[in-house]
Amino acid sequence: MISRRLLRIKVLHLLYAYFNNNEEGLARYEKDLLYSIDKSYDLYHLFFVLLLDVKEYAASRIELAKNKRIPTREDLDPNLRFVENRVIRQINSTNKIFQYIDAHKLSWAYHPELIKRVYQDMVESEAYHKYMNAPVNDYKNDKEFIRIFLSEFLVNSDLLYQILEEHSIFWNDDIEFVLSMNVKTIEKAKAENIDLNIFQLYKNEEDKEFAKKLFRMVILKHQENSDLIQANIKNWDVDRIAQMDLLVMEMAVTEIILFPSIPIKVSFNEYIELARFYSTNRSNAFVNGVLDKIIAQLKSENKVQKAGRGLME
């Protein structure tokens, strides 16, 4: 589930923490790195549970309306399309979700206001009214509405961001990415299946080792890579360069030299994107120019040895 891009982001965050307060040692920060990755997987499961909680809230509203003193015709014959959504039924049948939730004691029980707010935003939306009143009631429409629920209603929920930020600092930059993985899970669902095919935390063991090795080697190669970067910065005072820019470049150099299976172009583009997102407005062009020079130097000194997939450009 976790992409290499998110792994790089996680490593960048922990490197920033380490270099600004390394009193607790490398082992503690490596542990925090793996913990932060695990927290993304928590969020993946929590988003499915939030959808189920909203469905249960909608069902409870229907029951309350039926028990009014003087119910309307609509109260007695409600539109059940959302509460009977076939994809929600598949999520509810996916034991892996509930096993994970139970094992990690995850729940929205302390945030009924979020469930209510998401429900209200949903029922007031044009997409909801279109779905509930569509002439065709089939799996395809059910699936599309759940995609909208995840990619629009939750992505745009300020209350959701506020609550998650209060719960874990490791979730600050995860929400949109993780929701995109929930959406991909839904997109792969098929009408004939009883449950969903849930993503694993890591695509493979290689990804986990990638994160651990990248984090450790940036620290171990810190002085060597700092010297290399400084040698390629003309007319710049290193003390005035944004720390994030320097960390991004150190990560890029480490990856280019020490990960032979990753093409140079892939590493280059990934770290330009990180600089654009996490540093100053000028970082993109600055990091681009410096890394370009460093790569040229490393190639000329025969310090870059690629193999397998790493040879692809």
Residue 219: pLDDT above 70? yes
Domains of the chain: 4-187 (no CATH), 221-311 (1.10.940.10)
Q: Can you read off the two tokens belonging to residue 312?
A: 């692809």
Quickly list H helices, 168-300: 175-187, 205-220, 222-231, 243-258, 264-278, 283-300
Q: Can you read off the two tokens belonging to residue 114?
A: 């979020």
Q: What is the pLDDT of residues 269-309, one digit of tens each?
A: 999 999 988 887 777 888 999 999 999 999 999 999 888 77
Rounded Cα distance between 140 and 122, Å, is 19
Q: What is the pLDDT of residues 245-259, one digit of tens each?
A: 999 999 999 999 999
Highest mean pLDDT among 12-21, 186-195, 236-245: 186-195
195 contacts 95 by C-beta, under 8 angstroms: yes
Rounded Cα distance between 181 and 41, Å, is 10
Give the per-residue pLDDT at 224.
96
148 contacts 130 by C-beta, under 8 angstroms: no
Closest CA to 288 of 299, 276, 297: 276
Residue 237: pLDDT above 80? no
What's the one-letter identity of residue 81?
Answer: R
Confidence of residue 25 (pLDDT cuts 50, 70, 90): confident
Rounded Cα distance between 189 and 103, Å, is 25
Q: What is the pLDDT of residues 153-211, one digit of tens each?
A: 999 999 999 999 998 888 878 999 999 999 999 999 999 999 999 999 998 999 999 99
Matching residue, tokens 């930059």:
173
- Residue 198 DSSP code: P
Q: What is the pLDDT of residues 52-102, one digit of tens each?
A: 999 999 999 999 998 888 888 888 889 999 999 999 999 999 999 999 999
3-state helix, strand, coil in the chain (%, to 5): 70, 0, 30
Q: Can you read off the two tokens belonging to residue 181?
A: 């993985």
Confidence of residue 240 (pLDDT cuts 50, 70, 90): low
Q: What is the pLDDT of residues 114-153, one digit of tens each?
A: 999 999 999 999 999 999 999 999 999 999 999 999 999 9
